Structure 1
Amino acid sequence: MAETVLITGGTGMIGRRLTTLLLEKGYQVAYLSRKQQNNPNVKIYRWDIEKNFIEEEALRKADYIIHLAGAGIADQRWTASRKQEIIQSRTKSIELIARKLQERPYQVKACVSASGIGFYGADTGDVRVSEQTPSGTDFVAHVTRHWENAVELIDNIGIRTTKLRTGIVLSTQGGALPKIALPVQWGVGAPLASGKQWTSWIHIDDLCRMYIEALENPAWRGAYNAVAPTPVTNAVLTRQIAEVLDRPLWLPNIPSFVLKAVFGEMANLVIGGNYVLNHRIKAETNFTYQFEDLKQALSHLYEK
């Protein structure tokens, strides 16, 4: 009998690719969703966080849980209400799952949750940060701390729990890369702010393989930095995208004050940066990356 992986946020960019890889490995995949989905390969269970409701069969049949649900942190300007939504969309969902698991017997063996390198703050400069680095103090760090604390409720029940502090996920199907690549494709691309801020990235396939490894390997527990081993500056990232797309870069850098005027406080996400070390992945696991080099990753994504 195939094991079942229950996913929150399964229809997002990461969830869709992860679903494909899980199905290829022979797992059954189920989603928790507020809406009916048309995917013949995935079982859909209803849930309503505000009404404290999850279809009972969803958790009873789950062998593993993957928590990806969360409002996009860069999708809208950070108003007070949007900030609250960003936090609650990540925490209330997993808190509900934890409460429901406590109410009945379960067979869940492990839970793997998304987290973010924003745990360390939106801008850590040139400091090399590892899993032992303390949390930052800005809004992004505040979100991620609350997120991880909520996930700890699953660990407290006695279910092995892993948190993947994810960098910039490279995919042509969503996330940051299409937004960066579009002006480059139009010939108006340029590095942001100083261009010297660090970008810690990971190819979406490596990230999804990391999730599966974290499910299957009982040694994986706690927080891991889910990034490739080769961070680059924003200027290098922009230049590599231009090279792969065979487009020129001739504009000057976009100044910080322009970014702040357009995006408000959210501009900190691109003005700042993090040089994140994948210390625990390298030192404690046998995980092998398919894409360690940025140009290799971009060439694969754009099939060059």
Structure 2
Amino acid sequence: MDNLRKNVLITGSSGLIGTSLTELLLSNGFNVSHLTSNRGKANSSKKIFYWSIDEGHIDSGAFSDVDYLVNLSGASIGGAIWTEKRKKLIYDSRIVGTRLLADEITRQKVTLKSYFGASAIGYYGSNDSEIPNLESDDGGGDFLANVCVDWEKEHMKFQSLSENVSVGRISNVISKYGGMADPYKLIAKFGLQMRLSKDSKRCAWVSLNSLTNMIFHLLTDPLAGTFNLCDGVLFWGDVQKSMYAGFGKQYLSLRIPSYMLKIAMGEMSALITSSSNVSNEKIREALNMNGLNDVQKAMI
């Protein structure tokens, strides 16, 4: 890696993953700039640049001397019930946003050293099988799978714009700072432990620390290709028990049937009721990482 040029631009930098990655990059001597959709936060002197997917606009100085691009952009899939309007926002913020980045880089004739594009294990759809999904498997057919499939197609367009392109299919992120623990924390405030009626469903998960390190190495080593970013796969019941143990208190268990979640949350209930089982062999071999393999430690 050329130590003279270590300039990174991150989209989605204000989120859980972007914040953690920014800290890691800065601690390793990288210069980090950000794209923000909040015009009021834009400040070129602080390397924060405004962009708007709706306006098709990116501040002209955003790509000045940029060597690495990390694309984490996308509206939260858990932030609101999936109305048709919300689903359009989830889709456009990823696919149209990534297309805008590629178009602007092409227009400015920027050549990147390395590009990392986020995706998710939702690419595969729900998997109740004992056989884990490999990166070579086809995408699923539900809403999130279709989003991921189209998103990755846009990421692949960077192969003509960057010396290296990697795509990470991110598992359920576990951290005391947020991620999949958030809804359980909310229930825990009332002294309750939410449990699903089918604890036997599988959950592919990754700690925030492991995930941040995976992205860092894919970007900077660099490594090309598509990778499942995953620490391991456990049954949902075991994941939930470990998360609540990480909260450090005892709770009254409240078992919620899946059909009730579907009534209350509609299509969005798939975030909680679907099963995920992916192989992490490719990323572990590429980075020689053993993973954390302990949900409770991920909550510390």
Could you tell me the TM-score, scaled by structure 2's length? 0.91
1:143: which partner in 2? 147
SS of residue matched to 1:292: coil
Report the Cα offset of residue 295 of structure 1: 2.8
* Amino acid of the structure 2 residue aligned with 1:259: L
- Alignment of 1:120 onto 2:124: yes
CA separation of 1:201 and 1:42: change in aligned 2, threshold 3 A: farther
Report the Cα offset of residue 125 of structure 1: 4.2
CA separation of 1:23 and 1:2: change in aligned 2, threshold 3 A: farther
Report the Cα offset of residue 41 of structure 1: 9.7
Report if the CA contact (8 A) 2:117-2:167 is conserved.
Answer: yes
Report if the CA contact (8 A) 2:116-2:166 is conserved.
Answer: yes
1:183: which partner in 2? 187
2:36: which partner in 1? 33
1:105: which partner in 2? 109
1:170: which partner in 2? 174
Find 1:68's aligned residue among 65, 69, 72.
Answer: 72
**CA offset digits 1:14-48 (Å, max 9, x no partner):** 11111111111111110111324389995111222
**CA offset digits 1:139-161 (Å, max 9, x no partner):** 11011011111111111335421
2:21: which partner in 1? 18
Report if the CA contact (8 A) 2:43-2:49 is conserved.
Answer: no
What residue ranges of structure 1 are gaps of 5+ in the alignment? Answer: none
Find the aligned partners of 1:123 and 1:267 in 2 and give their Cα distance. 15
SS of residue matched to 1:248: coil
Find the aligned partners of 1:138 and 1:3 in 2 and give their Cα distance. 39
CA separation of 1:40 and 1:173: change in aligned 2, threshold 3 A: farther
1:58: which partner in 2? 62
Q: How does 1:1-304 map to 2 (within 5 A)?
A: 1=4, 3-35=6-38, 36-37=40-41, 42-184=46-188, 186-218=190-222, 220-228=223-231, 230-283=232-285, 285-289=286-290, 291-298=292-299, 301=300
Find the aligned partners of 2:229 and 2:275 in 1 and give their Cα distance. 15
Report the Cα offset of residue 124 of structure 1: 4.0
CA separation of 1:185 and 1:238: change in aligned 2, threshold 3 A: farther
Report if the CA contact (8 A) 2:122-2:144 is conserved.
Answer: yes
CA RMSD of aligned residues (A): 2.1
Report if the CA contact (8 A) 2:111-2:161 is conserved.
Answer: no
Report the Cα offset of residue 274 of structure 1: 0.6
CA separation of 1:273 and 1:171: change in aligned 2, threshold 3 A: same
Report if the CA contact (8 A) 2:75-2:93 is conserved.
Answer: yes
Report the Cα offset of residue 217 of structure 1: 1.5
* Amino acid of the structure 2 residue aligned with 1:292: N
CA separation of 1:166 and 1:182: change in aligned 2, threshold 3 A: same
SS of residue matched to 1:122: coil
Equivalent pairs counted in the alignment come to 296
Report the Cα offset of residue 294 of structure 1: 2.2
Report the Cα offset of residue 134 of structure 1: 1.4
Q: Which moved more, 1:22-31 or 1:166-175?
A: 166-175
Find the aligned partners of 1:192 and 1:66 in 2 and give their Cα distance. 35
Find the aligned partners of 1:264 and 1:16 in 2 and give their Cα distance. 31
* Amino acid of the structure 2 residue aligned with 1:258: M
Find the aligned partners of 1:171 and 1:237 in 2 and give their Cα distance. 12
Report the Cα offset of residue 273 of structure 1: 1.2
* Amino acid of the structure 2 residue aligned with 1:291: L
Q: Which moved more, 1:59-68 or 1:119-128?
A: 119-128
CA separation of 1:185 and 1:34: change in aligned 2, threshold 3 A: closer
Report the Cα offset of residue 236 of structure 1: 0.5
Find the aligned partners of 1:124 and 1:87 in 2 and give their Cα distance. 25
CA separation of 1:278 and 1:289: change in aligned 2, threshold 3 A: same
* Amino acid of the structure 2 residue aligned with 1:151: H
**CA offset digits 1:90-127 (Å, max 9, x no partner):** 01111111112222332411110111000000344443
Report the Cα offset of residue 279 of structure 1: 2.2
What residue ranges of structure 2 are gaps of 5+ in the alignment? Answer: none
Report if the CA contact (8 A) 1:6-1:62 is conserved.
Answer: yes
